[in-house]
């Protein structure tokens, strides 16, 4: 039997492949121009998207056992410029389906880490409707309204996934209170308004369906809202995004909070009103 000890060393390797990005519409790309189909779609404002992320991790010491695991995600989608396609000014549509597979080293090796060493693992080994939203900008782009199936971490407490460890990836509230704050690949019915207050300052307000039913297998690609107890998650965020120096180095500071109207058990008091 292995003795449970804190992990001392973890080896992690990530692989990221993305095809048909909007920035590379005029280039042949990894799969060519699809016999001329991609350029024709681009002229219509349609950008097909394919992404693959694979993450390998191995603990060289520590944990309950020394082993290695691989986890991955495949994403298929399309981005549509609705102004190009239908003449609808400053409007866009995004659809993304994702599939996750593999195993999580943190659990398999008994590492006892606060966050997973492979951020790509989680939320079930199945297809999910991860994005299905419409967005339009108004007032010369100072006001943006988004509605549809959204992941909360797309627009609030957003953080790049430049590292494989979940500690340094995506919106941290979803990693800590993930029973009601859902990051990608889980999406919920929601709407979000974003207003540019002045140069470098932005205020965002959202309204998200707070329902654990979105995690269930039968709702992973369903368009309807799940049955069961629900409420609303209402996040508010103020952002400051200045540029510094002659190189115009960018940075972002965020301050915000959220309120959830759904009901859950009191973490302090029991049903009889006495401390748990």
- 99-132 per-position pLDDT tens digit: 999 999 999 999 999 999 999 998 988 899 999 9
20 vs 4 pLDDT, higher one: 20
Residue 15 has a pLDDT of 64
**Residue 48 structural domain:** 1-75+99-122
Same-domain check for residues 241 and 263: yes
Same-domain check for residues 40 and 145: no
Same-domain check for residues 18 and 140: no
- Which residues are 3's β-sheet partners? none
| Percent of all residues in the chain with a pLDDT value above 70, rounded to a whole number | 89
Residue 127 phi/psi, 5° resolution?
A: -70, 145
Residue 245 has a pLDDT of 83
Give, as one character, the DSSP assignment of residue 226: P
Same-domain check for residues 140 and 220: yes
Total structural domains in the chain? 2
pLDDT above 50 for 8: no
pLDDT band at 4 (very low <50, low <70, confident <90, very high): very low
C-alpha distances in Å from residue 239, one per residue of 94, 194, 203:
24, 10, 6
- The structure's pTM equals 0.85
pLDDT above 90 for 18: no
Residue 257 lies in a domain: yes
Task: Compute the average pLDDT of residues 18-42.
Answer: 71
Q: What b/e sequence results for 189-214 when a residue is b if at least 16 CB atoms lie within 10 Å of its CB, and e otherwise?
A: bbbbebebeeeeebebbbebbbbbbb
pLDDT band at 145 (very low <50, low <70, confident <90, very high): very high
């Amino acid at each position: 039997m292995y003795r449970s000890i804190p992990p001392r060393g973890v080896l992690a390797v990530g692989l990221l492949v993305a095809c048909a990005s909007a920035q590379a519409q005029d280039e042949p790309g990894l799969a060519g121009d699809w016999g001329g189909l991609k350029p024709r779609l681009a002229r219509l404002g349609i950008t097909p998207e394919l992404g693959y992320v694979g993450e390998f991790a191995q603990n060289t010491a520590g944990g309950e056992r020394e082993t290695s695991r691989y986890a991955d995600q495949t994403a298929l989608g399309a981005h549509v410029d609705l102004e190009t396609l239908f003449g609808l000014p400053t409007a866009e549509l995004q659809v993304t389906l994702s599939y996750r597979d593999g195993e999580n080293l943190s659990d398999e090796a008994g590492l006892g880490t606060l966050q997973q060493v492979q951020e790509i693992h989680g939320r079930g080994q199945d297809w999910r409707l991860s994005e299905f939203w419409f967005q339009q900008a108004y007032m010369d782009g100072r006001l943006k309204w988004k509605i549809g199936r959204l992941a909360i971490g797309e627009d609030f407490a957003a953080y790049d996934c430049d590292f494989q460890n979940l500690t340094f990836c995506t919106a941290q509230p979803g990693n800590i209170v993930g029973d009601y704050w859902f990051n990608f690949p889980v999406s919920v019915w929601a709407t979000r308004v974003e207003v540019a207050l002045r140069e470098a300052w932005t205020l965002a307000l959202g309204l998200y369906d707070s329902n654990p039913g979105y995690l269930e297998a039968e709702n992973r690609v369903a368009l309807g809202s799940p049955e069961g107890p629900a409420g609303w998650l209402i996040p508010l965020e103020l952002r400051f995004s200045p540029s510094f120096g002659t190189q115009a180095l960018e940075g972002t500071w965020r301050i915000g909070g959220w309120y959830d109207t759904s009901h859950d058990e009191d973490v302090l008091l029991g049903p009889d009103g006495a401390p748990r």
